[in-house]
A and B are shown apart, each in its own frame.
Chain A
Amino acid sequence: MNVWLAIALTAAGCYLVKLLGLLVPADTLERPLVQRLAALVPVALLAALTAQQTFSAQGALTVDARAAGLAAAALALVLRAPFLVVVGAAVLVTAGARALGG
């Protein structure tokens, strides 16, 4: 029951924030500062999410095989690899690093 409550709250909350962004009047966005912020905030959030999902475990900072996987993904990106190859490289290298004792 508790899990269903969490799912319902998350679903409602996440849908509402998605809708909210689309419903904000367009003229709000004609201000240059708002435009720059709307373009930059996703950059900040994606960067923070990438770092957290790579270097955290149970709310603490840690470096493990995922770091090697992310490095592989970064290398694939520099080499202009397709999206699926980037993700695949991260998964394979992480699995490989763990297999080698990571």
Chain B
Amino acid sequence: MAQRTASSPSVRGGGPAAEPKSDGAVVRDALGVGIAVGLSGFAFGVTSAGSGLTLLQTCALSLLVFTGASQFALVGALAAGGNPFTAAAGAFFVGTRNAFYGLRLSQLLALRPLVRPLAAQAVIDETTAVALAQPDRRTARIGFTVTGLTLYVLWNVTTLLGALGAEAIGDTSAWGLDAAGPAVFLALLAPMLRSTTERATAALAVLLGLGLLPVLPAGVPVLAAALAAPAVLWFHGRRLGSGHLRGGRSGEGEGRSGRPGEDAR
């Protein structure tokens, strides 16, 4: 598998299941993620309304921004008294990771140029995670589309309901809804931690993200944590003794093979 993907970079050897996967199975996976995360728009609606944004402003964020972490970052910064520019900058920084997802997805999905502006709005954590978990391009496209559409519709409906219900609920943190965000991120991250390289990157990123949090403006520590990726690659390259990086996906291939039961899926 590692060999095949290394020689054909356009097709990713997705999850551990390299064997063909039925369309129905992909749709089920995609719906599962889309529905679960879509429902967490409720938490955003509640948080946003609780931060003092109007119903229209809250819904505009979910319709137009449609990348949950940025939305949470924005209303958090506004609630904390940030000015519109620093608040937007923080949300923007949190959203820049989507550019990297796009890099990965454009190669994997091979979208037509006309489709890209439309597909771009759906380039987020969840659609990327589902698409990357598929064994081939066809299933990746199905996974991306179904996850994106389900999530967009549900996220916006539940945002509206959450904002409407915010007053009725009262203290939203008592309901534990603020734990939904990190749990979603962890669930998206877990299947990606296949090899030592991925795990080391995640660990270093956690250290950077938390360590820099008290000293840098909101949003910046997360971006700085992205440096864990080149840092680990550089170290990995040196440790191989050759001082350069070997074929594209070799690390991942090695991580998967020979470790049954560790597919994290």
Main secondary structure of the interface of B (DSSP, over half): helix
A55 to chain B, nearest CB (A): 6
Indicate whether B159 reaches chain A with its CB closer than 8 angstroms. no
A53 close to B88 (CB less than 8 A): no
A86 to B182, CA, bound (A): 11
Indicate whether B106 reaches chain A with its CB closer than 8 angstroms. yes
B179 close to A42 (CB less than 8 A): no
A90 close to B173 (CB less than 8 A): no
A14 close to B92 (CB less than 8 A): yes
The number of residue pairs between A and B whose CB atoms lie closer than 8 Å in the complex comes to 316
Indicate whether B135 reaches chain A with its CB closer than 8 angstroms. no
B123 close to A22 (CB less than 8 A): yes
Indicate whether B240 reaches chain A with its CB closer than 8 angstroms. no
Tell which of A6, A14, A77, A80 touches B84, judged by Cβ atoms closer than 8 Å: A6
Residues of A contacting B210 in the complex (Cβ-Cβ under 8 angstroms): 48, 51-52, 55-56, 61
Indicate whether B33 reaches chain A with its CB closer than 8 angstroms. yes
Number of interface residues of B (CB under 8 A): 110
Indicate whether B208 reaches chain A with its CB closer than 8 angstroms. yes
Chain B positions 226 through 265: 1 when the CB is less than 8 Å from some CB of chain A, otherwise 0: 1111101100000000000111110110000000000011
| B94, B106, B179, B213 — most chain A CB neighbours (10 Å) | B179
Residues of B contacting A24 in the complex (Cβ-Cβ under 8 angstroms): 102-103, 106
A9 to B129, CA, bound (A): 27
Residues of B contacting A10 in the complex (Cβ-Cβ under 8 angstroms): 61, 65, 70-71, 74, 87-88, 91-92, 95
Tell which of B72, B96, B183, B221 touches A48, judged by Cβ atoms closer than 8 Å: B221
Q: Could you write out 6 A-B pairs with CB less than 8 Å apart? A: A21-B100, A29-B107, A41-B229, A42-B125, A52-B209, A70-B186
